A and B are shown apart, each in its own frame.
Chain A
């Protein structure tokens, strides 16, 4: 069983919808990361969380350390949000990370 589980695996939404992607993990962590990978392949870091909640534009990330769970929310989704969203956990200061398999999001106009 992967230490990091994401759901759903695939998600299709209509433009404007509110989207939630979930990430559960099974070990103690130093930080949790949300990454975005566009069809061209490049990977961009969206958030790093160790507690609470962070917001950047239409993206919101939350983490519950006790429940070992994080969510990524996208408000007012847009076709340009179509990408693979990857959850990753860091297990120490070295920054070695374990990655989820990703959630493929498609937003239709």
Chain B
């Protein structure tokens, strides 16, 4: 079992560029989440999904879009990157019981 994997691990973008972060889990979990982590702040929920084909907004959804076309994958898209989106992004999945499994993170810098 690989658990939760994220691609890529690092990325540098210029303002206005777009990119997609991929999260994959092999635990057959229904729930998946995208968070961002900024210095001095706790993890904040961007979007989440309660099952294949569903997505919902979290605490800080502006500037991001997501898709869950397959149960094992949860994609996070940035259509027009801004410097304020420089952050470390974590994906997580949750099965039953209520424990979240985190990916290794993606460090994104927007210049």
Contact = CB atoms under 8 A, between A and B. Distances in A.
A48 B41 contact: no
A102 B41 CA distance: 8
A95 B31 contact: yes
B42 A42 contact: no
Q: Is the interface of B mostly helix, strand, loop or mixed?
A: strand
Contacts of A7: none
Contacts of A95: 31, 33, 48, 94, 98, 100
A33 B101 CA distance: 12
B45 A97 contact: yes
Residues of A contacting B: mostly: strand
Contacts of A43: 90, 92, 102, 105
Contacts, number: 57
Contacts of B100: 33, 45, 95, 97
Interface residues of A, number: 25
Given A41-B104, A94-B50, A96-B58, A31 B98 contact: yes
Given A41-B88, A94-B50, A96-B48, A2 B99 contact: no
B98 A90 contact: yes
A85 to B, nearest CB: 12
A52 B45 CA distance: 28
A35 B99 CA distance: 10
A108 B41 CA distance: 25
B7 to A, nearest CB: 15
Interface of B: 31, 33, 40-45, 48, 50, 58, 88, 90, 92, 94, 97-102, 104-105, 107
Interface of A: 2, 4, 30-31, 33, 35, 41-45, 48, 86, 88, 90, 93-102
